[in-house]
Amino acid sequence: MNGLVLGGTYALLGIGLTLIFGLMNVVNFAHGEFYTLGAYAAFAALGWAGVDFFMAVLAAIAAGAALGWLCEVTLLRPLRNESIDTTMLVMIGVWIAMQNAELLVWGGVAKSIPHPFPTAPLVLGPVAIAPLRLFVLLIAVGLIAASWLLIQKTKLGRAMRATFQDRDTAALMGVGIGRIHAATFAFGSALAAAAGALLGPVFLAYPSMGDLASLKAFSVVILGGLGNLPGATLGGLLLGISEELGAGYISSGYRDAVGFVIIILVLLFRPAGLFARQERIA
Amino acid sequence: MTRVGGGFLALIALTLPLWLPSAYHLHVAIMAGIFGVLALSLNLLLGYTGQLSLGHAAFFGIGAYTSALLTLKLEWSFWPALAAAVALAGAAGWFIGRLSLKLRGAYFVLVTISFAGVISLVSVNWIELTNGPLGLPGVPAPELGPWSLRTKTAYYYLVLAAVALSYVVSRRLVDSRIGRAFVALRENEALAESIGVDVTHYLVLAAVVSAAMAGLGGSLYAHYTRFVSPEVFLFSYTVTMVIMVVAGGKGTLAGPLVGAVLFTALPEALRAATSWQWQMLAYGVLLVLLVVFMPRGIVPHISASFSRTPRQ
Amino acid sequence: MLAVRNLAVRFGGVTALEGVSFDVRPGSITSVIGPNGAGKTTAFNAITGYLRPAGGRVTYEDVALTGLRPSAIARRGIVRTFQRTSVFPSLSVEDNVLTGLHLRGTAGFLAVLAGRQRLVSEERSLAADAAAIIEFVGLAHRRRETASGLPYGEQRLVELAVALAARPRVLLLDEPGAGMTGAEKTVVSGLIRKVREQNVTILLVEHDMRMVMGISDTVIVLNGGRVIAEGAPAEIQAHPDVIRAYLGASHGSA
């Protein structure tokens, strides 16, 4: 059950990154930092602004979107024609800067994010789950569904898909390429922030929580196939569940290794991802 | 780099212990030298074949642990342990090199990070071998015949020799047909293949040499600090190496050395002034600024402004 | 002799080449023409190892090439150029050609590390070879310039120089005249003839009919992934199937 909760949030991280990495071809090593930002933004909203929990989560999402939009416009847009290595290095710089800024502002001691849910587990049939985790799962599922709808059904989603399949044609048809890039990055980052705001109260918030989150997000994206939303969703769930199983049956010290091993194995044997259906023409 | 300039620098380097004000400065010089070896090694992969390896700390750590474990637990003497460290790191490089054949760009980066992550987790969890997070204290100092190289001055010359060796190896590779093959792979792989460059051979070669050199750095580090822990696998070491290479100038040989000196001396200087979080924050911002404004690095930027000679 | 037998290439459900067979006689200049999408570059890719064919065989002097990597094929003397300019962008013209001389060098890892004296003389002779090739294509005045900064026509000359450096016995040129002015095409045609004089067999893909008919000994026509005609230029120009193929396609070529 915990695997599903983790999995749902991993799916959020994965969907965000599959849009950014898969569609925009930006190797966003700072993705985990948006996750961390989400947790700290929620913390800040609760602590400083005194809003209630649900508003704090929304505030976190908004913060993620805003900073993501800013990053894209100031850093990525001027470098769009450079090689992929250059954008990778820039995002590594952003990663370092964000993490240490968080260290400076909030200190290295882990913060506990207060939440309004009772701690006694709810018993639903054969499973027992803490109400907070149920909330996290529900919101995660809701956001995942919302993302699917956005990409598939709305005008913005269609514009996104058009831009990344064939930029020139999309531009000719009147799509504002710059705005789509910024919006996509902002959306992906917002999802990461949401994941952070949701998981922050479950665990703790500390500045380096994003490092592993970044790598797991990449793991999910690779598992599901670049740019493949349903793949990322399934991949996230798979990762969450296998981590929980791994921790239970192997040893909890190696639980984080699951993500790494997945990356290595999938890239070695099925680089297009487990769920990719078509062979790409070289 | 003229011969006079090079000779002058060599003279400075050789006499450094004589005129540095304190043992602390010598310590900084030693660390700069170790990182110089590491930066040169990363430069072979990143600057010349164009493959970004973000798991380079893994080779560094493997070298450090191998050397430490062999001298501590099996009581090997320093020099064979060093050789073993270089060899084992090189073998890891071979593995990564073969992986890179199927993967390029971002995928390669991810695999290198994952590899480093797995090795790091192993070093933390395989307590019987590595003593886990507590690390291995008391790594012996190296000996050269009857002399122990325990003093900072003696160790400085050891590190200097390693830097010189790494530089010469890099220089010879880069100036040769092999170096041209590396660059060809970076510039246009399809074209390189069409003129007969065996991609497998050269990518693996670059990875092995690069990893072996990093292993050398690791061994030197272990026997200098006399303590090895899973912290050698910290991503921040890799990041530091990347910054040194990128800021100094990837694809040049002076660049990584300049970067190594700069980014070893700078934090030491800043340490007195501010906390290390501000320093790392500054690193991040600096990396961003460098990539945006001086994408080719400090050394190429400067040499480009010097070579604005009148057209013939 | 380069022999292609029953070459077939398929992408998913699409058949790009089927049953393609032809011979390229040593010392000849053979052109492959056909409407857009006929499979010409696909054939090049399959012959030189960039694509794995679904069926068929390519042999050179009776040694099979199919299934080998492009670098192994190059080592056997078959070198190709690419449809879009393909140079080493940030290297100078000189360094481009020096890199192209890869197969002429012998320096291996251990020899390089040891800094053997014979390598120094080898490097000197390679530099001389590079200068000669640059002179041959007429770029001596550009030799120190960065390849990516050159005008398009000159970049294609660099490309040719790099290919020549690899010491081909069979040279495959993919649209050598594409995007060139009339004058540049004349220069290229002249160079192609001079290369042939040095006993290099030439196979080229080209859209410019005047260029093709002017230099070719044999012309092979592809359409829809199949060979529909093969012969001397005059025969091909009068061949009914060829005329139909070109009129049936969206447009002919200048």
The DSSP secondary structure of B144-206, one letter per residue, reads: ETTEE--SHHHHHHHHHHHHHHHHHHHHHHHTSHHHHHHHHHHH-HHHHHHTT--HHHHHHHH
Q: Do C12 and A282 touch (CB under 8 A)?
A: no
Best to test chain B binding among A260, A262, A266 (most B CBs inside 10 Å):
A260
pLDDT at A262 over 50: yes
Name the token pair of A266.
């999938």
Does one domain contain both C206 and C149?
Answer: no
Q: Which residue of A has its CA nearest to C14?
A: A281
Does one domain contain both C49 and C92?
Answer: no
Q: Is residue B265 part of a domain?
A: no
pLDDT at C249 over 70: no
Q: Do C86 and B178 touch (CB under 8 A)?
A: no
pLDDT at A273 over 90: no
Name the token pair of C119.
């390598």
Which of B107, B118, B124 is closest, CB to CB, to A260?
Answer: B118
Q: Do C86 and B188 touch (CB under 8 A)?
A: yes
Q: Is the dihedral of CA A265, A271, A273, A277 positive or negative?
A: negative
Q: Is residue C190 part of a domain?
A: no
Q: Is residue C37 part of a domain?
A: yes
SS3 A113: coil
Q: What is the pLDDT of residue B276?
A: 66
User: Is B42 within 8 Å of B204 (Cβ atoms)?
Assistant: no
Predicted ipTM of the assembly? 0.88
Q: In whole angstroms, what is the distance from residue A115 CA to residue A112 CA? A: 9
Q: Which residue has the higher pLDDT, B309 or C37?
A: C37
The region of weakest confidence among A43-52, A56-65, A233-242, C149-158 is A43-52
Nearest Cα to Cα of residue A230 among A4, A9, A14, A34 = A14
Q: What angle do CA B146, B151, B156 make, to 5 degrees?
A: 105
- Final residue of a structural domain among C109, C143, C167: C167
SS3 A77: coil
Domain encompassing residue C39: 1-77+170-176+201-254
Residue type, A187: F
Q: Do B187 and C112 touch (CB under 8 A)?
A: no
Q: Is residue B139 part of a domain?
A: yes
How close is the nearest chain C Cα to the Cα of A38, in Å? 42
The region of weakest confidence among A31-40, B206-215, C36-45 is C36-45
Nearest Cα to Cα of residue C95 among C35, C40, C143 = C143
Helix, strand, coil share of chain A (percent; to 5): 75, 5, 25
Burial call A30-53: b when 16+ CB within 10 Å, e when fewer:
bbbbbbbbbbbbbbbbbeeeeeeb
Does one domain contain both C143 and C113?
Answer: yes
Cβ contacts from A onto C, under 8 A? 5
Q: In whole angstroms, what is the distance from residue A158 CA to residue C185 CA? A: 45
How close is the nearest chain B Cα to the Cα of C238, in Å? 36
Burial call B187-209: b when 16+ CB within 10 Å, e when fewer:
bbbebbbbbbbbbeebbbbbbbb
Chains that touch A (3 or more CB pairs under 8 A): B, C
Q: Do C74 and B198 touch (CB under 8 A)?
A: no
Task: Measure the N-to-C terminal CA separation of chain B; round to a whole number of Å.
Answer: 22
Residue linked to tokens 């072979």: B44
Task: Show residues of chain B in contact with A84, CB under 8 Å.
Answer: 105-106
Task: Show residues of chain B in contact with A261, CB under 8 Å.
Answer: 114, 118
Does one domain contain both C130 and C99?
Answer: yes
Task: Show residues of chain B in contact with A95, CB under 8 Å.
Answer: 284
Which of C80, C89, C115 is closest, CB to CB, to B194?
Answer: C80
Q: Which residue of B has its CA nearest to A25?
A: B106
Q: Is residue C91 part of a domain?
A: yes
Q: Which residue of A has its CA nearest to C45?
A: A282
User: Is C202 within 8 Å of C28 (Cβ atoms)?
Assistant: yes
pLDDT at C96 over 90: yes
Q: Is residue B5 part of a domain?
A: no
Q: What is the pLDDT of residue A275?
A: 57
Nearest Cα to Cα of residue B199 among B89, B90, B50, B42 = B50
Q: Which residue has the higher pLDDT, C127 or A99?
A: C127
Q: What is the pLDDT of residue B298?
A: 78
Bridge partners of C220, per DSSP, are C32, C230
What average pLDDT does chain C have? 87
For residue A276, count CB atoms less than 10 angstroms from its CB and return exposed for 0-12, middle for 13-18, buried for 19 or more: middle
SS3 B120: helix
Domain encompassing residue B221: 23-234
Q: Do B178 and C48 touch (CB under 8 A)?
A: no
> Percentage of chain C with pLDDT > 90?
34
Q: Name residues whose C-beta falls within 8 Å of residue B146's C-beta, 6 or more positions apart in sequence.
A: none
**Residues 205-244 of chain A whose Cβ lies under 8 A from any Cβ of chain B:** 211, 215, 218-219, 222
Residue type, C96: N
pLDDT at C253 over 80: no
Report DSSP letters for C51-85, one per residue: S--SEEEEEETTEE-TT--HHHHHHTTEEE--SS-
C92 touches chain B (CB under 8 A): no
CATH number, domain of C112, equals: 3.40.50.300
Q: What is the pLDDT of residue B272?
A: 65
Domain count for chain B, please give it. Answer: 1
Chains that touch B (3 or more CB pairs under 8 A): A, C
Q: Is residue C15 part of a domain?
A: yes
Q: Is residue B248 part of a domain?
A: no
Domain count for chain C, please give it. Answer: 2
- Final residue of a structural domain among C167, C192, C216: C167
The region of weakest confidence among A43-52, B148-157, B179-188 is A43-52
- Rounded mean pLDDT, B1-30: 79
- For C23, half-sphere exposure in the C-beta direction (CA atoms, 13 angstrom radius) is 6
- Final residue of a structural domain among C147, C167, C187: C167
pTM for the predicted model, two decimal places? 0.82
Best to test chain C binding among B174, B191, B198, B210 (most C CBs inside 10 Å):
B191
Does one domain contain both C134 and C161?
Answer: yes
A104 touches chain B (CB under 8 A): yes
- For A2, half-sphere exposure in the C-beta direction (CA atoms, 13 angstrom radius) is 12
Q: What does R_g of chain B's alpha carbons equal in angstroms?
A: 19
How close is the nearest chain C Cα to the Cα of B173, in Å? 6
Does one domain contain both C101 and C72?
Answer: no
C41 touches chain B (CB under 8 A): no
User: Hey, what's the torsion of the CAs at A36, A39, A40, A44, to 10 degrees?
Assistant: 160
Bridge partners of B137, per DSSP, are B227
Task: Show residues of chain C in contact with A282, CB under 8 Å.
Answer: 51
Q: Is residue B123 part of a domain?
A: yes
Q: In whole angstroms, what is the distance from residue A12 CA to residue B293 CA? A: 34
Which of B107, B285, B287 is closest, CB to CB, to A92?
Answer: B287
